[in-house]
């Protein structure tokens, strides 16, 4: 009896304009649009193999980094699998010769080549790889933007990892979420000079998950209302323009401002959420100082820091400036000071999931 299999890898994406807050928790509809850079496959990626066969025992099964995880009833993975099966059913209805895979159990094994849930966006690459691998297994005709509607329901930021390069997640307006999807703003080849330095300040699991953190922020922060109404919408337009124009100074200014705005709403949450630690704040000071010196000498900004729901820094810089940035970071934060090895991982934006 036939067995079908598909393996794909999806990279991590790191947001420049942050998603923080859901207006609908079941469908994962965000309170604001966001924009990210998808990193290269080389360093931070999830690789997922999905298979299906009529012979498999009943029930879908999932392994993460070699350990079996329960697929809970009504949980996010199950929601994604149900939606993918529905699209497969449409393929089978149109083509009577297509195997009835939608009725068969699935086996899914996923590996991250980096620490899980440490503020390095593992859920983004993991859910994107899961959705993309099953779409390949099922030979679905849907576009990456359409697939992003399903990945979004697995983990919000995962929808952006279905594209390489520079990607926007448009929040949409509809209550059913049909217009809350990812679109590519520019592909990697448009601006390959941008590189990312990932500073692993801590690879421990984060204290407050993004899911619970966001809910607390939505429920208690008044600053969030200002951010989603007045701060993010103009930034989305401005940063898209900066990417199109390859204007690094504007890109860097907006990226740093938005990271700080996101951590400000975390602090404005009750009880407050602290994702940054002393090392994170020291990295901010070093980059601010490098930029101050660059501006004073008449040049543009040389680097942009950004932090997700954890203390690890991602520093964006142009390739020509990256050796100086790496050297400066290594001088201020020598690896002998208890940093995991390697402290920094250089990554380039990637083309797309493979
Ligand atoms: O998709 P989630 O639930 O892992 O949330 C991600 C939130 C941030 O990483 C902090 C910001 C973002 O836009 O990726």
Q: Is the CB of 155 under 6 A from ligand 1?
A: yes
Task: Decide if pLDDT at 86 tops 90.
Answer: yes
133 Cβ below 6 A of ligand 1? no
Residue 41 has pLDDT above 80, yes or no: no
354 within domain boundaries: no
- Cα distances from 168 to residues 182, 219, 350, in angstroms, run 6, 25, 15
Q: State the pLDDT at residue 118.
A: 54
* CB-ligand 1 contact for 154 (6 Å cutoff): no
- Look at residue 352 and tell me if it is in a domain: no
Q: How far apart are CA 132 and CA 84, in angstroms?
A: 10
Looking at the predicted structure, is the pLDDT value of residue 169 above 90?
A: yes
Q: Give residue 120 CA to ligand 1 midpoint distance, Å.
A: 10
Helix axes 144-154 and 76-94, enclosed angle (nearest 10)? 150
The answer on 70 and 141 residing in a single domain is: yes
| Ligand 1 centroid from CA 53, angstroms | 34
Do 199 and 164 belong to one domain?
no
Question: Which span out of 171-185, 200-214, 313-327 was modeled with the highest average pLDDT?
Answer: 171-185
Taking alpha carbons only, the member of 281, 323, 282 closest to residue 302 is: 323
Which residues lie across from 244 on neighbouring strands?
none
Give 323 or 114, the one with higher predicted confidence. Answer: 323
Residue 311: which domain range? 194-347
Has residue 166 been placed in a domain?
A: yes
Q: Is 261 in the pocket of ligand 1 (CB under 6 A)?
A: no
ipTM confidence: 0.99
Check whether residue 130 and residue 49 sit in a common domain.
yes
Through-space distance between the first and last CA atoms of the chain, rounded to whole angstroms: 28
In a domain, 51, yes or no: yes
170 lines ligand 1 (CB under 6 A): no
**Count: domains in the chain:** 2
Alpha-carbon distance 276 to 270, whole Å? 17
* Ligand 1 atom, smallest distance to 34 CA: 13
Q: Is 213 in the pocket of ligand 1 (CB under 6 A)?
A: no
pLDDT in tens, 233-276: 999 999 999 999 999 999 999 999 999 999 999 999 999 999 99
Residue 213, classed as helix, strand or coil, is: helix
Q: Which residue has the higher pLDDT, 200 or 4?
A: 4
Say whether pLDDT at 335 is over 70. Answer: no
| Domain's final residue, options 189, 207, 230 | 189
- Residue 106 pairs in a beta bridge with 52
User: For residue 296, how far is its CA from the centre of ligand 1 (angstroms)?
Assistant: 34
Is residue 150 over pLDDT 70? Answer: yes
Give the integer Cα–Cα distance in Å for 65 and 76: 18
Whether 41 is covered by a domain: the verdict is: yes
């Amino acid at each position: 009896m036939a067995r079908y299999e598909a393996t794909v890898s999806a990279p991590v994406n790191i947001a420049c304009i942050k998603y923080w807050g859901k207006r609908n928790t079941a469908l994962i509809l965000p309170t604001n649009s966001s924009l990210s850079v998808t990193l290269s496959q080389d360093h931070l990626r999830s690789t997922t193999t999905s298979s299906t066969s009529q012979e498999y025992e009943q029930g879908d099964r999932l392994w993460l980094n070699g350990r079996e995880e329960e697929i809970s009833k009504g949980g996010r993975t199950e929601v994604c699998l149900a939606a993918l099966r529905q699209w497969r059913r449409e393929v089978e209805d149109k083509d009577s010769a297509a195997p009835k895979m939608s009725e068969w159990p699935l086996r899914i094994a996923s590996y991250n080549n980096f620490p899980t849930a440490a503020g390095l966006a593992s859920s983004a690459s993991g859910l994107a790889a899961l959705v993309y691998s099953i779409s390949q297994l099922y030979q679905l005709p849907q576009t990456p933007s359409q697939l992003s509607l399903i990945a979004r329901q697995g983990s919000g930021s995962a929808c952006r990892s279905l594209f390489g390069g520079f990607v926007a997640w448009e929040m949409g307006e509809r209550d059913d979420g049909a217009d809350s999807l990812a679109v590519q703003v520019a592909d990697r080849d448009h601006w390959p000079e941008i590189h990312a330095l990932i500073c692993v300040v801590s690879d421990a699991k984060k204290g407050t998950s993004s899911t619970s953190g966001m809910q607390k922020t939505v429920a208690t922060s008044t600053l969030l209302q200002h951010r989603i109404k007045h701060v993010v919408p103009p930034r989305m337009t401005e940063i898209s323009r900066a990417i199109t124009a390859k204007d690094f100074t504007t890109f860097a200014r907006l990226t740093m401002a938005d990271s700080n705005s996101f951590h400000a709403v975390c602090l404005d949450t009750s009880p407050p959420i602290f994702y940054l630690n002393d090392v994170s704040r020291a990295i901010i000071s070093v980059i601010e100082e490098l930029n101050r010196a660059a501006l004073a000498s008449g040049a543009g900004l040389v680097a942009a820091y950004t932090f997700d729901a954890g203390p690890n820094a991602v520093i964006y810089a142009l390739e020509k400036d990256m050796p100086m940035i790496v050297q400066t970071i290594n001088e201020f934060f020598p690896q002998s000071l208890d940093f995991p090895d390697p402290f920094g991982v250089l990554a380039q934006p990637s083309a797309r999931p493979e």
